């Protein structure tokens, strides 16, 4: 199913917003949770949300062509401003007519600001009011990335959606540094808005910050709403914080951000996170996890993740997922993939194709369930398949906050017991 026919039978939008380079239409709402299904018109493509965006750091997803991504029905993919700014560089990208033409991708593109890489990957990163000072990994010279430079690079790249440069702090950081970063990010946003040269062709999304502090998150979101951006991101999470804190910050943010604008939760890609955060009102996600874990031989299925490099798959002549219609599952067995996973580029490629297909199918199923107003039933079925009778406490509590109580038996008799622990260690069998 493609984006051209998925919502064809739906009527007029329930609500919408129009910005110079983005039109967002809410087409259906879950009557129980905060989930909604929407159409997002971008300069290069009309995407459907909730959606997952694979990460193509340097304008490519390792081992996958743009044609394959189209056939897998990816609507938007991510590029990394820091890496693209280093190579191939803004001058070459401008000569090529932007990253879309350079990489032969006719659908949506989103670029991050480059700030996270400055702080997390580089030596001697120093944040000042001017910007982020860092040591260039190529020649060792000190360089400065300012909000204006970040926007300039992203204008050259030409993505449909650009992210503001924010003052990045770990989600585990507490104390005055968190508040300092939140207010500085707002000031940097205002500088970025002034520097934005292509507002009718590209969208600048601000980022909700504030760590795990409810007061700061609230202030940040309220201040961002005043800027009347085309869409908003929820940042500063997925950095090792307890999942109980994670979902509360997400839900707090979606309660404040406008219902007529897209909401993007940055760095989220685990299947249970996508299902829960969609119930909390999030529309967009990205994460390196599905493609990175494929390169370690891990294939995603609804019960969890299959480590195909393990010996138990040596004689398993079934596809990764019998219900999956991706090219990998249609042609190759777990036994074949076991022989090549982590050893041959072919195995990495085939598992990557499957994992992207898995994410796209999950998001289509989420959208369909919202449109048909059966999202609570979909959630319960997903949770039962993934976890069985014992479910991480954060999942139970997050869903209870939007009126899905897994501890109460449904018509099939299924109910769950909340257990401590944020992540699933083994696939549910």
Residue 114 has what pLDDT? 74
User: Is 64 strand, coil or helix?
Assistant: strand
Task: Say how many CA atoms lie within 13 Å of 243 toward its Cβ.
Answer: 21
User: 């002549």: which residue's tokens?
Assistant: 317
Q: What is the helix (H) or strand (E) element at residue 66, kind and residue range?
A: helix 66-71
Q: What is the pLDDT of residues 242-262, one digit of tens each?
A: 999 999 999 999 999 999 999
Residue 227 has what pLDDT? 96
Closest CA to 301 of 277, 278, 319, 280: 319
- C-alpha distances out from residue 38 to 7, 150, 367, 370, Å: 9, 29, 9, 10
Does pLDDT of 122 surpass 70?
no
Q: What is the CA radius of gyration of the chain?
A: 21
Predicted TM-score (pTM) of the model is 0.95
Does pLDDT of 1 surpass 50?
no
- 418-423, long-range: CB < 8 A, 24+ apart: 418/390, 418/391, 418/392, 418/393, 419/390, 419/391, 419/392, 419/393, 420/392, 420/393, 421/392, 421/393, 422/242, 422/243, 422/392, 422/394, 423/270, 423/392
Q: Cis (ω within 30 of 0) for the bond into 48? A: no
Residues 6+ apart with CB under 8 A from 411: none
- What are 305's strand-pairing partners? 300
Does pLDDT of 187 surpass 90?
yes
Q: What is the pLDDT of residues 255-283, one digit of tens each?
A: 999 999 999 999 999 999 999 999 999 99
Q: What is the pLDDT of residues 292-308, one digit of tens each?
A: 999 999 999 999 999 99
> Interior CA angle at 347 toward 343 and 352, to 5°?
125
Residue 89 has what pLDDT? 80
Question: What CA–CA distance (Å, rounded) separates 268 from 358?
Answer: 15
Give the residue-averaged pLDDT of 10-16: 96
Residue 5 has what pLDDT? 72
378 alpha-carbon distance from chain centroid: 21
Does pLDDT of 3 surpass 60?
no
Q: What is the pLDDT of residues 34-87, one digit of tens each?
A: 999 999 999 999 999 999 999 986 677 888 999 999 999 999 999 888 778 777
Q: Indicate which residues carry an active-site annotation.
A: 112, 286
Does pLDDT of 409 surpass 50?
yes
Closest CA to 147 of 134, 133, 164, 163: 164
Residue 113 has what pLDDT? 83
Give the residue-averaged pLDDT of 7-30: 96
Please report which confidence band the pLDDT of residue 417 belongs to, taking 50, 70 and 90 as the band edges.
Answer: very high
Tokens of 226: 């005043």
Residue 144 has what pLDDT? 86
Does pLDDT of 341 surpass 90?
no
Does pLDDT of 383 surpass 70?
yes
More confident residue, 39 or 344: 39
Q: What is the helix (H) or strand (E) element at residue 25, kind and residue range?
A: strand 22-29
Residue 168 has what pLDDT? 87
| Contact (Cβ atoms closer than 8 angstroms) between residue 334 and residue 313 | yes
**Strand order in 51-54's β-sheet?**
51-54, 284-287, 263-265, 232-234, 207-208
Please report which confidence band the pLDDT of residue 352 belongs to, taking 50, 70 and 90 as the band edges.
Answer: very high
Residue 277 has what pLDDT? 98
């Amino acid at each position: 199913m493609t984006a051209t026919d998925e919502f064809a039978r739906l009527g007029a939008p329930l609500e919408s917003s129009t910005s110079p380079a983005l039109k967002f239409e809410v087409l259906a709402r879950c009557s129980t949770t905060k989930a909604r299904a929407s159409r997002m018109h971008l300069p290069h493509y009309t995407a459907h949300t909730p959606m997952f965006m694979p990460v193509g750091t340097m304008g490519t997803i390792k081992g996958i062509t743009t044609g394959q991504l189209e056939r897998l029905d990816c609507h938007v993919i991510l590029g990394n401003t820091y890496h693209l700014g280093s190579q191939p560089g803004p001058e070459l990208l401008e000569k090529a007519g932007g990253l879309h033409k350079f990489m032969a991708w006719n659908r949506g593109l989103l670029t991050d600001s480059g700030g996270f890489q400055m702080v997390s990957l580089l030596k001697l990163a120093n944040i000042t009011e001017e910007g982020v000072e860092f040591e260039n990994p190529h020649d060792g010279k000190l360089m400065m990335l300012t909000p204006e430079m970040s926007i300039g690079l992203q204008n050259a790249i030409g993505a449909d959606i650009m992210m503001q440069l924010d003052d990045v702090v770990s989600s585990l950081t507490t104390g005055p540094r968190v508040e300092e970063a939140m207010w500085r990010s707002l000031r940097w946003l205002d500088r970025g808005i002034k520097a934005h040269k292509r507002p009718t062709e590209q969208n600048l999304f601000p980022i909700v910050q504030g760590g795990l502090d409810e007061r700061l998150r609230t202030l940040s979101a309220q201040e961002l709403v005043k800027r009347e951006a085309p869409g908003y991101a929820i940042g500063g999470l997925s950095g090792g914080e307890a999942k109980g804190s994670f979902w509360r910050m997400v839900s707090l943010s979606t309660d404040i951000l406008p219902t007529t604008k897209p909401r993007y939760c940055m760095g989220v890609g685990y299947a249970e996170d996508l299902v829960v955060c969609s119930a909390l009102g999030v529309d967009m996600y990205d994460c390196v996890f599905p493609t990175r874990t494929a390169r370690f031989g891990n294939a995603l299925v609804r019960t969890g993740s299959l480590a195909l490099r393990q010996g138990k798959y040596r004689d398993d002549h079934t596809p990764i997922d019998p219900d999956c219609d991706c090219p990998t599952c249609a042609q190759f067995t777990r036994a074949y993939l076991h022989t090549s996973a982590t050893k041959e580029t072919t195995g990495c490629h085939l598992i990557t194709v499957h994992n992207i297909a898995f994410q796209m199918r999950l998001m289509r199923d989420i959208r369909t369930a919202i449109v048909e107003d059966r999202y609570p039933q979909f959630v319960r079925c997903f949770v039962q398949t993934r976890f069985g009778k014992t479910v991480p406490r954060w999942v139970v509590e997050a869903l209870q906050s939007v009126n899905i109580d897994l501890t109460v038996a449904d018509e099939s008799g299924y109910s769950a017991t909340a257990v401590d622990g944020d992540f699933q260690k083994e696939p549910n069998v």
